[in-house]
């Protein structure tokens, strides 16, 4: 699944205009300009989401690396970098980030092990429930509760991939609902 997603993403990134033109030609001529506009806004929304995600990943990596260095754990830079990369997947990635650090901490005794666990829990809490929702609210105008709710619902329905792609998908869905339903239908029908 992962390999197929990476290959598809590469094809979409190399020539997005080809796929965009194809999708636009699938709708009636009267809707094409509006769809093209929505696709441009969606692209902008996803770009801002990605910048917000990169910010959260960077913060996690730095905090985890510095915390591990202060605790005297070997390879804090590498473990911080690993934590930053796997944090791309909300909540689940952070669990993967702590396992190598806990294994290294186990050799140093229970106090160090507990220190790494507390460090992980603090960073995970701050990233999942403070940093990511607030950054996403600023970057893509998603209220923090919507981000958390989308991850929970998508995780229950679609498992790992649901959690991984819940926030960008809900950002695009909110944009489309706002443009098509609220502005295009509700506000236009009340203004006449």
**pLDDT (average), residues 103-127:** 92
> How far does Cα 8 stand from its chain's mean position?
18
To 5 degrees, how large is the angle CA 132–CA 138–CA 143?
A: 70
Predicted confidence band of residue 151 (pLDDT cuts 50, 70, 90): confident
Cα distances (angstroms) measured from residue 156 to each of 56, 58, 147, 152, 164:
24, 27, 14, 6, 12
Given this model, what pLDDT does residue 192 score? 47
Residue 44 tokens, joined: 């902008």
C-beta separation of 79 from 101 below 8 A: yes
Is pLDDT above 90 for 17?
no
CB 134 within 8 A of CB 55: no
Residue 130 confidence (pLDDT) above 90: no
Q: For the chain, give the mean pLDDT.
A: 86
Residue 33, classified by CB atoms within 10 Å of its CB into exposed (0-12), middle (13-18) or buried (19+), is exposed
pLDDT in tens, 34-84: 899 999 898 888 888 888 889 989 999 999 999 999 999 999 999 999 999
> From CA 57, how far away is CA 132, in angstroms rounded?
9
């Amino acid at each position: 699944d992962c390999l197929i997603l990476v290959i598809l993403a590469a094809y979409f990134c190399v020539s997005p205009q080809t796929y965009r033109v194809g999708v636009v030609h699938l709708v009636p001529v009267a809707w094409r300009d509006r769809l093209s506009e929505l696709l441009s806004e969606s692209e902008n929304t996803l770009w801002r989401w990605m910048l917000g995600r990169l910010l959260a990943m960077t913060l996690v990596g730095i905090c985890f690396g510095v915390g591990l260095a202060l605790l005297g754990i070997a390879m804090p830079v590498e473990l911080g970098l690993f934590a930053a990369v796997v944090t791309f997947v909300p909540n689940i990635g952070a669990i993967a980030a702590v396992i190598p650090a806990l294994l290294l901490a186990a050799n140093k005794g229970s106090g160090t092990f507990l220190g790494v666990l507390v460090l992980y829990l603090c960073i995970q809490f701050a990233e999942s429930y403070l940093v990511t929702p607030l950054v996403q609210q600023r970057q893509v105008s998603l209220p923090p509760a919507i981000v958390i709710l989308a991850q929970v619902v998508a995780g229950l329905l679609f498992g790992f991939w649901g959690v991984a792609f819940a926030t960008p998908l809900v950002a695009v869905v909110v944009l489309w609902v706002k443009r098509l339903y609220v502005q295009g239908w509700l506000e236009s029908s009340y203004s006449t």
